[in-house]
Amino acid sequence: MKRIFPILGLLTAVLLSYALYAALELAPTEQTMGDVQRIFYYHVPSAWTAFILFTINFVASIVYLMKRSAKADAVAVTTAEVGVVFCTIVLITGPLWARPVWGIWWTWDVRLTSTLVLWLIYVSYLILRRFSSSGQTPVIAAALAVFGALDVPLVYFSIWFFRTQHPQPVIGGGGSLDPRMGRVLLLNWLAFSCLALMLCWSRYRLERLQREVEQAQAFDPILEPRSHR
């Protein structure tokens, strides 16, 4: 496994570099919005990646609630944290795209508001994990994650069921996307998925190591008197 990580790192770096070049140079310029539309190649893949990570968090939380598996709990924390990073990017790039195109930074429509709520739910989840020292914290956090995940389909399907400022989805939404734009979009998604995998991998290892250290520290005061004998 240790050999795979640098290979994946190299592959991710190459993919991200080429995806950046493709987004800025290879993708055709959109006629109405101009170059600012290229934010799309970072905004949409980040949103998809966040949705996938929150879905994995949901599955891991259910597994934890059913089996009390420490590994499932570590996967849940990992995917929530990396998911928040990607969701933050969606919330930053969205207004930066909206300002020149819509003339406003933000509007309280269903898509944007539900995305902000999704981000707040998972930030609350991480705050709970970070600052609560109760033994029941993983259970409460898993329950919060299960309810929080209900917001993921609401965010995704909100533009189908409600009239919003946000455009229709590019895939499965009935809109047409230039095939060259579609290829660049998928390339960027692949690159960001590889980056997410690397970040999750590192964060998962950190979480497991942290738990081992906490366990060792918890036993330390018990073992210490014996070592003085």
Partner 1 sequence: MNFLYTAYAAVWIVHVAYAFTLMRRYSRLSREIEDLKKK
Nearer to partner 1, 88 or 164 (CB): 88
Q: How many CB atoms lie within 10 A of CB 53?
A: 26
What b/e sequence results for 61-100 when a residue is b if at least 16 CB atoms lie within 10 Å of its CB, and e otherwise? bbbbbeeeeeebbbbbbbbbbbbbbbbebbbebbeebbee
Q: Can you give the length of the chain in residues? A: 229
Stretch that binds partner 1, among 40-48, 124-132, 150-158, 163-171 (CB under 8 A): 40-48
Per-position x/- string for 185-214, each x denoting binding to partner 1 as judged by CB under 8 A, each - no binding? ----------x---x--xx--x--xx--x-
Member of 46, 61, 79, 114 binding partner 1 (CB under 8 A): 46
- From candidates 10, 70, 96, 117, binder to partner 1 by CB under 8 A: 96
Measured from the Cβ of residue 129, the count of other Cβ atoms closer than 10 Å reads: 20
User: For residues 69 and 88, which CB has a smaller minimum distance to partner 1 in the complex?
Assistant: 88
Closer residue to partner 1 in complex, CB, 65/185: 185
In the shown chain, the binding pattern of residues 54 to 93 toward partner 1, with x for contact by CB under 8 A and - for none, equals ----------------------------x--x--xx--xx
Measured CA distances, 135 to 54, 58, 108, 119, 139 (Å): 24, 20, 38, 25, 9
Closest distance of CB 112 from partner 1, Å: 16
- Spatial neighbors of 196 by CB under 8 A, at least 6 apart, are 49, 52, 53, 82, 86
CB proximity list for 189: less than 8 A, separation 6 or greater? 44, 45, 48, 49
Does the footprint of partner 1 cover residue 11 (CB under 8 A)? no
Interface with partner 1, residue 13, by CB under 8 A:
no
Which residues of this chain interact with partner 1, rule CB under 8 A? 20, 35-36, 38-39, 42-43, 46, 82, 85, 88-89, 92-93, 96-97, 99-100, 195, 199, 202-203, 206, 209-210, 213, 216-217, 220, 224, 227
